[in-house]
Amino acid sequence: MRFIGNKENLVDRIYHVIQEKNIKVKSFFDVFAGTANVGRYFKNKNIQIYSSDLLYFSYVLQQAYIVNNKEILFEKLLSKLDFTSRIFFASPLGLVIEYLNNLKPVEGFIYKHYCPSGSSELTQPRKYFSNENGKIIDSIRIQIENWYSDDLISKNEYYVLLACLIETVPYYANVSGVFAAFHKKWDPRAVKKLELRQIKTIINDKTNFSFNVNSVELLDIEADIYYLDPPYNQRQYAPNYHLLETIAKYDNPKIRGVTGIRAYENQKSKFCNKITALQELDKIAKHGLYKTLILSYNTEGIMPQQKIISILEKYGKLETVEFKYLRFKSNNNGLSKSKKYVNEQLFILRKHE
Ligand X SMILES: C[S@@+](CC[C@H](N)C(=O)[O-])C[C@H]1O[C@@H](n2cnc3c(N)ncnc32)[C@H](O)[C@@H]1O
Interface ranges with ligand X (CB under 6 A): 3, 5-7, 32, 34-35, 37-38, 52-55, 58, 214-216, 229-231, 237, 269, 271
Question: In this structure, what are the phi and psi dihedrals at residue 50, rounded to the nearest 5 degrees?
Answer: -120, 140
Spatial contact of 256 and 34, defined as CB atoms under 8 Å apart? no
Minimal distance, residue 191 CB to ligand X, in Å: 28
Minimal distance, residue 187 CB to ligand X, in Å: 23
* Cα–Cα distance, 95 to 23 (Å, whole number): 43
DSSP H or E run through 325:
strand 316-330
* Cα–Cα distance, 222 to 205 (Å, whole number): 18
Specify the residue, 152 or 219, whose C-beta has the smaller distance to ligand X: 219
Minimal distance, residue 59 CB to ligand X, in Å: 10
Minimal distance, residue 269 CB to ligand X, in Å: 3
Minimal distance, residue 231 CB to ligand X, in Å: 5
Residue 132 carries which side chain, given as an amino acid letter?
A: E
Closest CA to 302 of 319, 329, 281, 318: 281
Cα–Cα distances in angstroms (integers) from residue 252 to residues 109, 110, 137, 179, in the given order:
7, 9, 14, 18
Specify the residue, 7 or 135, whose C-beta has the smaller distance to ligand X: 7
Specify the residue, 7 or 43, whose C-beta has the smaller distance to ligand X: 7
* Cα–Cα distance, 22 to 102 (Å, whole number): 51
Specify the residue, 143 or 212, whose C-beta has the smaller distance to ligand X: 212
Specify the residue, 11 or 106, whose C-beta has the smaller distance to ligand X: 11
